[in-house]
Amino acid sequence: MLQAEGTGKTIEKAIENALLELKAPREDVDIKILNEGGLFKKAKVLVSISKDVEEKYQAKSKKKAEVKVEVKEEKVAETKTGKPQEKEIKKEVKAEAKKEKKEEKAEIKEEKKAEKTKKENKYVEPKEFLEGFFKALDKEISIEIIEDEQTITYSVDGENMGEIIGRRGECFYAISNIMKTLTPKQDKRILLDISNYKEKREESLSSTARRIANKVAKSGRYYKLEPMNASERRVIHTALQNDDRVTTLSKGSEPRRYVIIFPKEYKE
């Protein structure tokens, strides 16, 4: 039996009664409310085994059916030999049902324990996270793991990655932050790269920094860049650290912190 109806004073009680009849935990079922109940009516629900766990419960039903057939065959055989043993048969059936119920309870308990452990353990390996994330977006990707003395970079490649990266990398950095948050602590820094975005972005920022530095050096006036995250600000500082004409300074508060490029001899 892969579905059962339940009634109760409340919807929650009706669900509880249906789960008891179905002998299944709540996470394994789909729930349909047939009647919300009221002052003189009981709530009524239909609880069905979810498709993703149907096979497990079908196997249980098959096992029950096989047990009943075996008991029936034993009873028929004994009747033919002239030695009916109804009491013994009933006793065996009862014992088998009790054993099966005990096994089901133990199985449900183990499943709940496993689910609880899974929820408590919030950490996940970076590759596992990325595979699950892009699968949810229906994106086919390949992941290359590049490791050096200080970092481990997970380089993702696939088609139409521009929409995943987002304008100026907003989505890219959001995915990167989530991945780092969910990753267990390691000795090396965990980094993300999508379609070589980081290298392209660093080249673009370095080029922009040098171009603006030329303007600042000629005009003698500072230039304020758009807000950037810490890693992008670092690219600007690094690109101009050896430029004798200008100097750089980060100002503002996150997430609106920005870089200012000053001439060495600043003019008001």
Strand order of the sheet with strand 3-8? 3-8, 43-49, 29-35
3-state SS assignment for residue 225: coil
Nearest Cα to 201, choosing from 242, 171, 177?
171
Bond preceding residue 227 cis, omega within 30 of 0: no
Confidence (pLDDT) at 88: 64
What DSSP assignment string belongs to 160-177? S-HHHH-GGGHHHHHHHH
pTM for the full predicted model: 0.46
**61: pLDDT confidence band, cut at 50, 70 and 90?**
low
Give residue 236's pLDDT band: very low, low, confident or very high (50, 70, 90): very high
Q: 126-195 domain in CATH 3.30.300.20?
A: yes
- Predicted confidence (pLDDT) per residue in 19-34, tens digit: 888 788 877 778 888 8
pLDDT at residue 118 greater than cutoff 60? no
DSSP state string for 44-72: EEEEEE-GGGHHHHHHHHHHHHHHHHHHH
Among 100-104, 162-166, 169-173, 232-236, name the one with the lowest average pLDDT: 100-104
Look up residue 268 and give its two tokens. 């008001």
Asked if residues 182 and 132 have their Cβ atoms less than 8 Å apart, the reply is no
Q: Is there a contact between 191 and 151 (Cβ–Cβ < 8 Å)?
A: yes
Q: Answer with the residue of higher pLDDT: 262 or 66.
A: 262
Is residue 121 very low, low, confident or very high in pLDDT (cuts 50, 70, 90)? low
Q: Which one has a higher pLDDT value, 267 or 13?
A: 13
On the question of pLDDT at 67 being above 60, the answer is no
Q: Where are the domains of the chain?
A: 3-49, 59-120, 126-195, 202-263
Q: What is the CATH number of domain 202-263?
A: 3.30.1370.50
Q: What is the DSSP letter of 10?
A: S
Average pLDDT, rounded, for the chain: 80
